[in-house]
Chain A
Protein backbone atom coordinates (compact mmCIF):
# COMPACT_ATOMS: atom_id res chain seq x y z
CA UNK A 1 0.00 0.00 0.00
CA UNK A 2 1.36 3.35 -0.96
CA UNK A 3 1.95 5.69 1.93
CA UNK A 4 0.26 8.59 0.18
CA UNK A 5 -1.84 8.95 -2.95
CA UNK A 6 -0.41 10.88 -5.91
CA UNK A 7 -2.73 13.72 -5.06
CA UNK A 8 -1.47 13.89 -1.51
CA UNK A 9 2.16 13.92 -2.64
CA UNK A 10 1.23 16.84 -4.84
CA UNK A 11 -0.30 18.65 -1.86
CA UNK A 12 2.83 18.09 0.21
CA UNK A 13 5.16 19.23 -2.59
CA UNK A 14 3.04 22.33 -3.22
CA UNK A 15 2.96 23.18 0.50
CA UNK A 16 6.74 22.95 0.77
CA UNK A 17 7.22 24.99 -2.39
CA UNK A 18 4.83 27.73 -1.26
CA UNK A 19 6.42 27.93 2.19
CA UNK A 20 10.00 27.85 0.96
CA UNK A 21 9.36 30.65 -1.53
CA UNK A 22 7.41 32.63 1.06
CA UNK A 23 10.16 32.46 3.68
CA UNK A 24 12.97 32.97 1.17
CA UNK A 25 11.33 36.15 -0.07
CA UNK A 26 10.30 37.26 3.40
CA UNK A 27 13.68 36.75 5.09
CA UNK A 28 15.52 39.87 3.84
CA UNK A 29 12.48 42.07 4.44
CA UNK A 30 11.95 40.64 7.92
CA UNK A 31 15.62 41.18 8.74
CA UNK A 32 15.54 44.76 7.49
CA UNK A 33 12.43 45.49 9.56
CA UNK A 34 13.91 43.79 12.63
CA UNK A 35 17.10 45.84 12.21
CA UNK A 36 15.11 49.05 11.85
CA UNK A 37 13.04 48.33 14.94
CA UNK A 38 16.00 47.14 17.01
CA UNK A 39 18.55 49.77 16.04
CA UNK A 40 16.97 52.93 14.69
CA UNK A 41 15.03 55.66 16.36
CA UNK A 42 12.69 57.53 14.09
CA UNK A 43 9.28 59.16 14.25
CA UNK A 44 6.51 56.72 13.38
CA UNK A 45 8.42 53.71 14.69
CA UNK A 46 5.46 52.72 16.85
CA UNK A 47 3.24 52.75 13.77
CA UNK A 48 5.66 50.56 11.74
CA UNK A 49 5.91 48.18 14.69
CA UNK A 50 2.11 47.95 14.91
CA UNK A 51 1.71 47.44 11.14
CA UNK A 52 4.25 44.60 11.13
CA UNK A 53 2.39 42.92 13.96
CA UNK A 54 -1.06 43.44 12.48
CA UNK A 55 -1.30 40.02 10.74
CA UNK A 56 -0.60 38.39 14.08
CA UNK A 57 -3.73 39.80 15.70
CA UNK A 58 -6.10 40.36 12.77
CA UNK A 59 -8.48 37.54 11.88
CA UNK A 60 -6.58 35.81 9.03
CA UNK A 61 -9.66 36.12 6.85
CA UNK A 62 -9.36 39.91 7.13
CA UNK A 63 -5.69 39.76 6.13
CA UNK A 64 -6.71 37.64 3.14
CA UNK A 65 -9.41 40.12 2.20
CA UNK A 66 -6.96 43.05 2.46
CA UNK A 67 -4.55 41.14 0.19
CA UNK A 68 -7.42 40.60 -2.20
CA UNK A 69 -8.13 44.34 -2.24
CA UNK A 70 -4.49 45.28 -2.74
CA UNK A 71 -3.36 42.50 -5.09
CA UNK A 72 -6.59 41.81 -6.95
CA UNK A 73 -6.74 42.56 -10.69
CA UNK A 74 -8.11 46.06 -9.98
CA UNK A 75 -6.24 46.63 -6.72
CA UNK A 76 -3.47 49.26 -6.54
CA UNK A 77 -0.60 46.75 -6.34
CA UNK A 78 -2.24 43.98 -8.36
CA UNK A 79 -3.15 46.33 -11.20
CA UNK A 80 0.40 47.65 -11.33
CA UNK A 81 1.96 44.16 -11.36
CA UNK A 82 -0.47 43.04 -14.06
CA UNK A 83 0.08 46.05 -16.26
CA UNK A 84 3.88 46.28 -16.01
CA UNK A 85 4.96 42.69 -15.50
CA UNK A 86 1.94 40.66 -16.61
CA UNK A 87 2.03 39.17 -13.14
CA UNK A 88 -1.07 37.85 -11.38
CA UNK A 89 -0.98 36.60 -7.82
CA UNK A 90 -4.68 35.96 -7.37
CA UNK A 91 -5.64 32.26 -7.51
CA UNK A 92 -1.98 31.34 -8.10
CA UNK A 93 0.49 29.49 -5.91
CA UNK A 94 2.56 32.68 -5.84
CA UNK A 95 -0.41 34.35 -4.17
CA UNK A 96 -0.49 31.56 -1.61
CA UNK A 97 3.20 32.24 -0.99
CA UNK A 98 2.45 35.95 -0.51
CA UNK A 99 -0.29 35.17 2.01
CA UNK A 100 2.03 32.77 3.85
CA UNK A 101 4.81 35.37 3.89
CA UNK A 102 2.57 38.11 5.28
CA UNK A 103 1.31 35.81 8.02
CA UNK A 104 4.83 34.65 8.94
CA UNK A 105 6.35 38.14 8.90
CA UNK A 106 5.42 39.25 12.43
CA UNK A 107 6.78 36.09 14.03
CA UNK A 108 10.03 36.36 12.10
CA UNK A 109 10.50 40.06 12.82
CA UNK A 110 9.88 39.50 16.53
CA UNK A 111 12.37 36.65 16.82
CA UNK A 112 15.04 38.47 14.78
CA UNK A 113 14.56 41.70 16.66
CA UNK A 114 15.08 39.91 19.97
CA UNK A 115 18.26 38.25 18.72
CA UNK A 116 19.59 41.55 17.36
CA UNK A 117 18.82 43.33 20.61
CA UNK A 118 20.68 40.59 22.47
CA UNK A 119 23.92 41.34 20.60
CA UNK A 120 26.29 43.29 22.83
CA UNK A 121 26.85 46.51 20.92
CA UNK A 122 30.04 47.17 22.82
CA UNK A 123 31.54 44.27 20.87
CA UNK A 124 30.75 46.18 17.70
CA UNK A 125 32.57 49.20 19.14
CA UNK A 126 35.56 46.97 19.90
CA UNK A 127 35.54 45.73 16.28
CA UNK A 128 35.49 49.31 15.01
CA UNK A 129 38.53 50.31 17.09
CA UNK A 130 40.31 47.25 15.67
CA UNK A 131 39.96 48.65 12.17
CA UNK A 132 36.74 47.05 10.94
CA UNK A 133 34.32 49.29 9.06
CA UNK A 134 30.57 49.14 9.65
CA UNK A 135 29.95 46.39 7.06
CA UNK A 136 32.86 44.24 8.17
CA UNK A 137 31.67 44.68 11.75
CA UNK A 138 28.18 43.61 10.74
CA UNK A 139 29.33 40.47 8.95
CA UNK A 140 32.02 39.37 11.37
CA UNK A 141 30.45 40.32 14.71
CA UNK A 142 26.77 41.26 14.62
CA UNK A 143 25.45 38.69 12.18
CA UNK A 144 27.33 35.66 13.59
CA UNK A 145 26.17 36.55 17.10
CA UNK A 146 22.57 37.05 15.95
CA UNK A 147 22.53 34.13 13.51
CA UNK A 148 21.09 31.44 15.81
CA UNK A 149 18.11 33.74 16.40
CA UNK A 150 17.83 34.62 12.73
CA UNK A 151 17.83 30.96 11.70
CA UNK A 152 15.37 30.05 14.42
CA UNK A 153 13.15 32.89 13.16
CA UNK A 154 13.30 31.53 9.61
CA UNK A 155 12.33 28.02 10.67
CA UNK A 156 9.60 29.36 12.93
CA UNK A 157 8.27 31.34 9.97
CA UNK A 158 8.47 28.23 7.79
CA UNK A 159 6.46 26.19 10.29
CA UNK A 160 3.92 28.98 10.58
CA UNK A 161 3.59 29.35 6.81
CA UNK A 162 3.02 25.61 6.27
CA UNK A 163 0.03 25.88 8.59
CA UNK A 164 -1.36 29.03 6.97
CA UNK A 165 -5.07 28.67 6.19
CA UNK A 166 -7.41 31.64 6.56
CA UNK A 167 -5.61 34.33 4.58
CA UNK A 168 -4.73 31.81 1.87
CA UNK A 169 -8.24 30.48 1.25
CA UNK A 170 -9.61 34.03 1.23
CA UNK A 171 -6.98 35.45 -1.10
CA UNK A 172 -6.28 32.62 -3.55
CA UNK A 173 -9.14 30.19 -2.90
CA UNK A 174 -8.71 26.41 -2.73
CA UNK A 175 -7.62 25.20 -6.16
CA UNK A 176 -6.22 21.65 -6.40
CA UNK A 177 -2.65 21.65 -7.68
CA UNK A 178 -2.38 25.44 -7.53
CA UNK A 179 -3.31 26.78 -4.12
CA UNK A 180 -4.47 23.71 -2.18
CA UNK A 181 -1.79 23.44 0.49
CA UNK A 182 -1.84 20.97 3.40
CA UNK A 183 -4.35 22.74 5.67
CA UNK A 184 -6.65 23.46 2.73
CA UNK A 185 -6.47 19.82 1.62
CA UNK A 186 -7.36 18.70 5.14
CA UNK A 187 -10.28 21.11 5.15
CA UNK A 188 -11.45 19.79 1.76
CA UNK A 189 -11.14 16.16 2.87
CA UNK A 190 -13.22 16.95 5.94
CA UNK A 191 -16.05 18.13 3.67
CA UNK A 192 -16.12 14.83 1.78
CA UNK A 193 -18.09 11.88 3.27
CA UNK A 194 -15.65 9.06 4.00
CA UNK A 195 -12.65 11.40 3.87
CA UNK A 196 -11.46 10.48 7.37
CA UNK A 197 -8.54 8.33 6.28
CA UNK A 198 -7.29 11.08 3.98
CA UNK A 199 -7.63 13.57 6.85
CA UNK A 200 -5.64 11.28 9.12
CA UNK A 201 -2.82 10.82 6.61
CA UNK A 202 -2.61 14.55 5.87
CA UNK A 203 -2.73 15.41 9.56
CA UNK A 204 0.14 12.98 10.24
CA UNK A 205 2.15 14.65 7.49
CA UNK A 206 1.50 18.03 9.13
CA UNK A 207 2.77 16.78 12.45
CA UNK A 208 5.86 15.21 10.84
CA UNK A 209 6.69 18.34 8.82
CA UNK A 210 6.22 20.63 11.81
CA UNK A 211 8.32 18.41 14.07
CA UNK A 212 11.05 18.22 11.44
CA UNK A 213 11.05 22.03 11.18
CA UNK A 214 11.37 22.46 14.94
CA UNK A 215 14.14 19.88 15.23
CA UNK A 216 15.95 21.48 12.29
CA UNK A 217 15.78 24.89 13.94
CA UNK A 218 17.20 23.48 17.16
CA UNK A 219 19.99 21.77 15.24
CA UNK A 220 20.82 24.88 13.24
CA UNK A 221 20.87 27.06 16.32
CA UNK A 222 23.23 24.65 18.07
CA UNK A 223 25.79 24.38 15.34
CA UNK A 224 25.89 28.06 14.34
CA UNK A 225 27.13 31.10 16.20
CA UNK A 226 28.69 29.84 19.40
CA UNK A 227 28.96 26.37 17.92
CA UNK A 228 32.73 26.29 17.82
CA UNK A 229 32.87 26.83 21.54
CA UNK A 230 30.20 24.31 22.36
CA UNK A 231 32.55 21.47 23.18
CA UNK A 232 33.81 23.35 26.18
CA UNK A 233 30.43 24.15 27.69
Chain B
Protein backbone atom coordinates (compact mmCIF):
# COMPACT_ATOMS: atom_id res chain seq x y z
CA UNK B 1 0.00 0.00 0.00
CA UNK B 2 1.38 3.39 -0.92
CA UNK B 3 0.35 7.00 -1.30
CA UNK B 4 1.65 9.52 -3.77
CA UNK B 5 0.26 12.94 -3.08
CA UNK B 6 1.14 16.04 -4.99
CA UNK B 7 -1.56 18.70 -4.81
CA UNK B 8 -2.21 22.35 -4.28
CA UNK B 9 -5.23 23.61 -2.34
CA UNK B 10 -6.77 27.06 -2.45
CA UNK B 11 -8.31 28.12 0.84
CA UNK B 12 -9.60 31.63 0.37
CA UNK B 13 -6.51 33.63 -0.57
CA UNK B 14 -4.11 31.06 0.88
CA UNK B 15 -2.49 28.55 -1.40
CA UNK B 16 -1.17 25.33 0.12
CA UNK B 17 1.10 22.86 -1.64
CA UNK B 18 1.80 19.28 -0.59
CA UNK B 19 4.15 16.82 -2.20
CA UNK B 20 5.03 13.54 -0.52
CA UNK B 21 4.90 9.78 -0.74
CA UNK B 22 3.93 7.51 2.12
CA UNK B 23 4.62 3.80 2.60
CA UNK B 24 2.88 1.23 4.75
CA UNK B 25 2.17 1.53 8.46
CA UNK B 26 1.34 4.80 10.15
CA UNK B 27 2.49 7.99 8.48
CA UNK B 28 2.25 11.08 10.64
CA UNK B 29 1.52 14.39 8.99
CA UNK B 30 3.16 16.59 11.56
CA UNK B 31 3.00 20.36 11.81
CA UNK B 32 1.68 23.34 13.74
CA UNK B 33 -1.95 24.42 13.79
CA UNK B 34 -2.94 26.37 10.71
CA UNK B 35 -0.65 24.42 8.39
CA UNK B 36 -3.67 23.02 6.56
CA UNK B 37 -3.31 19.44 7.77
CA UNK B 38 -7.06 18.90 8.08
CA UNK B 39 -7.61 20.37 4.61
CA UNK B 40 -5.09 17.86 3.29
CA UNK B 41 -7.03 14.95 4.81
CA UNK B 42 -10.29 16.38 3.49
CA UNK B 43 -8.76 16.53 0.02
CA UNK B 44 -7.67 12.89 0.24
CA UNK B 45 -11.17 11.92 1.43
CA UNK B 46 -12.74 13.86 -1.43
CA UNK B 47 -14.50 16.41 0.76
CA UNK B 48 -12.37 19.25 -0.62
CA UNK B 49 -11.36 19.55 -4.24
CA UNK B 50 -7.70 20.37 -4.86
CA UNK B 51 -6.84 23.17 -7.27
CA UNK B 52 -4.33 20.98 -9.07
CA UNK B 53 -2.20 17.86 -8.83
CA UNK B 54 -2.92 14.23 -8.14
CA UNK B 55 -3.69 11.82 -5.32
CA UNK B 56 -2.72 8.23 -6.04
CA UNK B 57 -3.29 5.25 -3.77
CA UNK B 58 -1.67 1.94 -4.76
CA UNK B 59 -1.22 3.15 -8.32
CA UNK B 60 -4.87 4.13 -8.76
CA UNK B 61 -5.77 7.81 -8.93
CA UNK B 62 -8.42 9.16 -6.54
CA UNK B 63 -7.86 12.60 -8.00
CA UNK B 64 -5.95 13.66 -11.06
CA UNK B 65 -6.53 17.13 -12.40
CA UNK B 66 -4.72 16.46 -15.69
CA UNK B 67 -6.77 13.32 -16.41
CA UNK B 68 -9.97 14.82 -15.02
CA UNK B 69 -10.31 12.11 -12.41
CA UNK B 70 -12.10 13.06 -9.20
CA UNK B 71 -13.67 10.15 -7.35
CA UNK B 72 -16.58 10.99 -5.09
CA UNK B 73 -15.98 10.59 -1.33
CA UNK B 74 -18.25 7.52 -1.27
CA UNK B 75 -16.10 5.84 -3.95
CA UNK B 76 -12.74 6.34 -2.26
CA UNK B 77 -13.02 3.74 0.52
CA UNK B 78 -11.18 5.78 3.10
CA UNK B 79 -12.06 5.39 6.76
CA UNK B 80 -12.00 8.87 8.22
CA UNK B 81 -11.72 9.35 11.98
CA UNK B 82 -12.39 12.95 12.86
CA UNK B 83 -11.08 15.02 15.74
CA UNK B 84 -14.59 15.50 17.13
CA UNK B 85 -15.78 11.89 16.41
CA UNK B 86 -18.71 13.19 14.33
CA UNK B 87 -21.06 10.38 15.28
CA UNK B 88 -24.62 10.76 13.98
CA UNK B 89 -26.48 12.17 16.99
CA UNK B 90 -29.86 10.75 15.97
CA UNK B 91 -28.68 7.16 15.66
CA UNK B 92 -27.72 4.57 18.25
CA UNK B 93 -24.13 3.37 18.55
CA UNK B 94 -25.17 0.22 16.68
CA UNK B 95 -26.67 2.21 13.79
CA UNK B 96 -23.60 4.45 13.70
CA UNK B 97 -21.30 1.44 13.55
CA UNK B 98 -23.28 -0.21 10.78
CA UNK B 99 -23.84 2.94 8.70
CA UNK B 100 -20.79 2.40 6.49
CA UNK B 101 -20.99 -1.40 6.73
CA UNK B 102 -24.42 -1.37 5.08
CA UNK B 103 -23.17 0.90 2.30
CA UNK B 104 -20.05 -1.19 1.58
CA UNK B 105 -20.06 -3.85 -1.13
CA UNK B 106 -20.05 -7.28 0.60
CA UNK B 107 -16.67 -8.21 -0.89
CA UNK B 108 -15.14 -5.03 0.56
CA UNK B 109 -16.18 -5.73 4.14
CA UNK B 110 -13.29 -7.21 6.04
CA UNK B 111 -14.64 -6.91 9.57
CA UNK B 112 -17.92 -7.97 11.15
CA UNK B 113 -19.82 -6.06 13.80
CA UNK B 114 -18.93 -8.68 16.42
CA UNK B 115 -15.24 -8.49 15.54
CA UNK B 116 -15.32 -4.71 15.79
CA UNK B 117 -17.11 -4.78 19.15
CA UNK B 118 -14.54 -7.25 20.42
CA UNK B 119 -11.56 -5.39 18.99
CA UNK B 120 -12.64 -2.07 20.49
CA UNK B 121 -14.35 -3.33 23.65
CA UNK B 122 -17.56 -1.44 22.97
CA UNK B 123 -20.13 -4.26 23.12
CA UNK B 124 -21.87 -2.70 26.12
CA UNK B 125 -22.46 0.59 24.32
CA UNK B 126 -24.49 -0.84 21.44
CA UNK B 127 -27.86 0.64 22.34
CA UNK B 128 -26.67 3.97 23.71
CA UNK B 129 -27.05 7.30 21.94
CA UNK B 130 -23.84 9.20 21.07
CA UNK B 131 -24.70 12.09 23.41
CA UNK B 132 -24.45 9.73 26.40
CA UNK B 133 -20.93 8.46 25.59
CA UNK B 134 -17.73 9.70 27.19
CA UNK B 135 -15.08 11.18 24.89
CA UNK B 136 -13.05 7.96 24.85
CA UNK B 137 -16.10 5.77 24.21
CA UNK B 138 -17.26 8.03 21.39
CA UNK B 139 -13.83 7.97 19.74
CA UNK B 140 -13.71 4.16 19.91
CA UNK B 141 -17.14 3.99 18.29
CA UNK B 142 -15.96 6.44 15.62
CA UNK B 143 -12.93 4.23 14.90
CA UNK B 144 -15.23 1.19 14.76
CA UNK B 145 -17.57 2.95 12.36
CA UNK B 146 -14.65 3.75 10.06
CA UNK B 147 -13.24 0.18 10.22
CA UNK B 148 -16.65 -1.38 9.50
CA UNK B 149 -17.09 0.63 6.30
CA UNK B 150 -14.48 -1.65 4.72
CA UNK B 151 -11.81 1.00 4.10
CA UNK B 152 -8.54 0.44 2.26
CA UNK B 153 -6.79 2.93 4.52
CA UNK B 154 -7.54 5.23 7.46
CA UNK B 155 -7.33 8.99 7.79
CA UNK B 156 -7.07 10.20 11.38
CA UNK B 157 -7.34 13.87 12.25
CA UNK B 158 -5.95 14.46 15.74
CA UNK B 159 -8.16 11.72 17.21
CA UNK B 160 -6.76 12.37 20.71
CA UNK B 161 -7.16 16.13 20.74
CA UNK B 162 -10.41 16.29 22.70
CA UNK B 163 -9.50 13.60 25.27
CA UNK B 164 -8.02 13.76 28.77
CA UNK B 165 -4.71 12.01 29.57
CA UNK B 166 -6.18 8.63 30.60
CA UNK B 167 -8.43 8.40 27.58
CA UNK B 168 -5.55 9.41 25.31
CA UNK B 169 -3.55 6.42 26.46
CA UNK B 170 -6.55 4.17 25.89
CA UNK B 171 -7.09 5.39 22.31
CA UNK B 172 -3.34 5.39 21.59
CA UNK B 173 -3.32 1.66 22.32
CA UNK B 174 -6.31 1.12 20.06
CA UNK B 175 -4.53 2.96 17.23
CA UNK B 176 -1.37 0.90 17.75
CA UNK B 177 -3.43 -2.26 17.48
CA UNK B 178 -5.13 -1.00 14.30
CA UNK B 179 -1.67 -0.37 12.87
CA UNK B 180 -0.06 -3.66 14.02
CA UNK B 181 -2.88 -6.21 14.14
CA UNK B 182 -5.07 -5.04 11.29
CA UNK B 183 -2.06 -3.89 9.20
CA UNK B 184 -4.08 -0.97 7.98
CA UNK B 185 -2.26 1.96 6.49
CA UNK B 186 -2.97 5.18 8.37
CA UNK B 187 -2.38 8.83 7.56
CA UNK B 188 -2.32 10.48 10.94
CA UNK B 189 -2.50 14.23 11.48
CA UNK B 190 -1.03 15.64 14.68
CA UNK B 191 0.75 18.62 16.16
CA UNK B 192 1.96 16.64 19.19
CA UNK B 193 5.58 15.48 19.01
CA UNK B 194 5.21 12.73 21.68
CA UNK B 195 2.23 11.22 19.92
CA UNK B 196 4.03 11.22 16.60
CA UNK B 197 7.23 9.71 18.06
CA UNK B 198 5.28 6.90 19.63
CA UNK B 199 2.99 6.03 16.71
CA UNK B 200 4.62 6.89 13.44
CA UNK B 201 6.62 4.68 11.09
CA UNK B 202 7.23 7.71 8.93
CA UNK B 203 6.88 11.44 9.59
CA UNK B 204 6.00 14.03 6.97
CA UNK B 205 6.57 17.60 8.13
CA UNK B 206 3.82 19.96 7.05
CA UNK B 207 4.99 23.55 7.12
CA UNK B 208 2.59 26.47 7.49
CA UNK B 209 2.06 28.48 4.28
CA UNK B 210 4.30 31.44 3.44
Are A and B part of the same complex?
yes
Interface residue count for B (Cβ, 8 Å)? 32
Q: How far is the CA of A228 from the CA of B94 in the complex (A)?
A: 13
The stretch from B50-58, B84-92, B181-189, B202-210 touching chain A is B84-92
The verdict on A130 contacting B92 (CB below 8 Å), with A125-B47, A136-B103 known, is no
Query: Which residues of chain B from 74 to 126 have a CB within 8 Å of any chain A CB?
Result: 74, 76-80, 82, 84, 86, 88-92, 99-100, 103-104
Residue B173 interfacial (CB < 8 Å) = no
Known: A141-B88, A228-B129, A229-B129. A129 touches B145 (CB 8 A): no
Chain B residues with CB under 8 A of A38:
none
A123 to B47, CA, bound (A): 12
Which residues 112-136 in A have Cβ within 8 Å of B in the complex?
122-123, 125-133, 136
CB of A232 closer than 8 Å to a CB of B? yes
Cα distance A127–B89 when bound, in Å? 12
B149 touches A131 (CB 8 A): yes
Contact status of A131 and B90, CB under 8 A, knowing A122-B82, A229-B129, A232-B129: no
Cβ distance B12 to chain A, nearest Cβ, rounded Å = 15
- Decide: A130 and B129 in contact? CB cutoff 8 A: no
B residues adjacent to A (C-beta < 8 A): 42, 45-47, 72-74, 76-80, 82, 84, 86, 88-92, 99-100, 103-104, 128-132, 145-146, 149
By Cβ-Cβ distance, the 10 closest A-B pairs, closest first, are: A131-B103, A130-B100, A229-B129, A128-B73, A129-B80, A126-B86, A125-B47, A130-B149, A131-B74, A232-B132
- Residue numbers of A with Cβ under 8 A of B are 122-123, 125-133, 136, 140-141, 144-145, 225-226, 228-229, 232-233
